[in-house]
Amino acid sequence: MKRLAIALCLASAALAFGDRNLRINEASAPANGALLKFDSTNWRGITTTASDIDALLVSGQSFGNLTLADGSITDASGAISFGDENLSTTGTFTVGDALTVGTLLMADATSATIATGTLTVTQSAHTVLGEGAASDDLDTIAGLTATDTWLVLRPGDAAQDITIKHGTGNIVTSDGADYDIPDNGFVLMIYDGSNWRLLSAGGGGASAAADVTFSPTGTIAGTNVQTALAEVASEAVPVSSATPTYCVAFTIPDEPDDDAQHYQIEIDDTADFSS
C-alpha cells in the first residue's frame, strides 16, 4: 500500500482541522521539536531551548500532585519528602510552625578576635581571642542581627582571659555581673533584637582529681561559690578520706536584690552542696 505525501501551502499562518485529531509522523518531526504546545490559539512545535521550556512550565503548572509556582513547590498532600537525599543552600532556610531533626549540628567553630571591645561574629559558633593575643574584655557583639539568633562562644587560647562585660555594650548577663569564661568553658547567648543575653555557661573546674584544701576555722566572705571555694582552698590544709570531715557554711545571694540563700559544703571523700 503506497503512502501519499501531501504538502500544504497556506496563505495564513494557521492550519485548522476542525474536530479531527492531528497526528504528526515522529520520523518527520524536527529533531528538537517533537513536542507540541497549544498557545490558546494554535498548536506549535517547541524545542528544548530555555525560552520554550519556560513557556511550557508556566507558573501554577501541576505534575501529578506537585504544583510549580513562582518561588515555591507544593504538594496536594501538604508534605514533600526528599528521602535520604542531602539538601544544601547558601541562602536562608525558613520554617513555619515546627522543625523536626534527628541531629542538629552547627558549623565548626571559627576563630574571631576582639577589636576595641567588639567581637564581630559571622556564624553561631566561634572561638574567641583577645586583641593583641592578650586577655581582653568583650563589650559588644556585632555581625549577626536577626532576632532570636543563638551564639556559642568559647576561649580560643587558655592563656587569654576573656571577660564578658555586663551593660557596657550590647551584652546583658542574668545576674547583672561580668562573667569570665573558663579556660575550658563556653557561653550560650541569644539576641533579643537589641542585646545579646547570656543564657547559660558551662565548663571550668579541675581537669584532673586534686585535694581540696581549707581551714576549719575562720570567716568566708565570698558572695558566690567560685570565690568562696577559692577562699577555702587558699588555706592549704589538705582533706582526704584519712582526715576528719569538716563543714563550712557561707552565704550566697542568688540575685543582687534577693534574700540570701544559705548553703553548707560537707567535705569528706566528696563535696556535697545542699540548701
Residue with cell 574567641: 128
Nearest to 113 by CA among 90, 144, 136, 87: 136
Residue 85 identity: E
Strands 212-213 and 238-239: antiparallel
The span from the CA of 185 to the CA of 225, in Å, is: 16
Q: Inform me whether the pLDDT recorded for 17 exceeds 70.
A: no
Cβ 222 vs Cβ 231: under 8 Å? yes
For 77-126, write each residue's pLDDT tens digit: 878 888 888 888 888 888 887 888 888 888 899 999 999 999 999 999 99
Q: For the purposes of burial, counting CB atoms within 10 Å of the CB of 52, is it exposed (0-12), middle (13-18) or buried (19 or more)?
A: middle
pLDDT band of residue 265 (cuts 50, 70, 90) is very low
Q: Where are the domains of the chain?
A: 13-60, 110-202, 212-274
For 28-69, write each residue's pLDDT tens digit: 445 544 566 666 666 666 555 556 555 556 666 666 777 777
Name which residue leads in pLDDT, 129 or 256.
129
Cβ 133 vs Cβ 163: under 8 Å? no
> What residues contact residue 59 under an 8 Å CB cut-off, 6+ apart?
68, 69, 70
Residue 239 pLDDT: 45
Stretch 228-245: mean pLDDT, rounded? 52
For 161-205, write each residue's pLDDT tens digit: 999 999 999 999 999 999 999 988 999 999 999 999 999 988 766
Q: How many residues does the chain have?
A: 275
Residue 241 pLDDT: 46
Q: Inform me whether the pLDDT recorded for 9 exceeds 80.
A: no
pLDDT band of residue 209 (cuts 50, 70, 90) is low
pLDDT band of residue 250 (cuts 50, 70, 90) is very low
Q: Distances in Å between the alpha carbon of 124 and those of 10, 92, 121, 246?
A: 68, 14, 8, 45
For 217, the grid coordinates are: 576555722
Count of Cβ atoms closer than 10 Å to residue 178 Cβ: 15
The span from the CA of 113 to the CA of 115, in Å, is: 6
The span from the CA of 147 to the CA of 254, in Å, is: 28
Is 110-202 a CATH 2.60.120 domain? yes
Cβ 124 vs Cβ 138: under 8 Å? no
Q: What is the mean pLDDT of the chain?
A: 72
Burial 74-113 (b: 16+ CB within 10 A, else e): eeeeeeeeeeeeeeeeeeeeeeeeeeeeeeeeeeebeebb
Whole-structure pTM value: 0.51
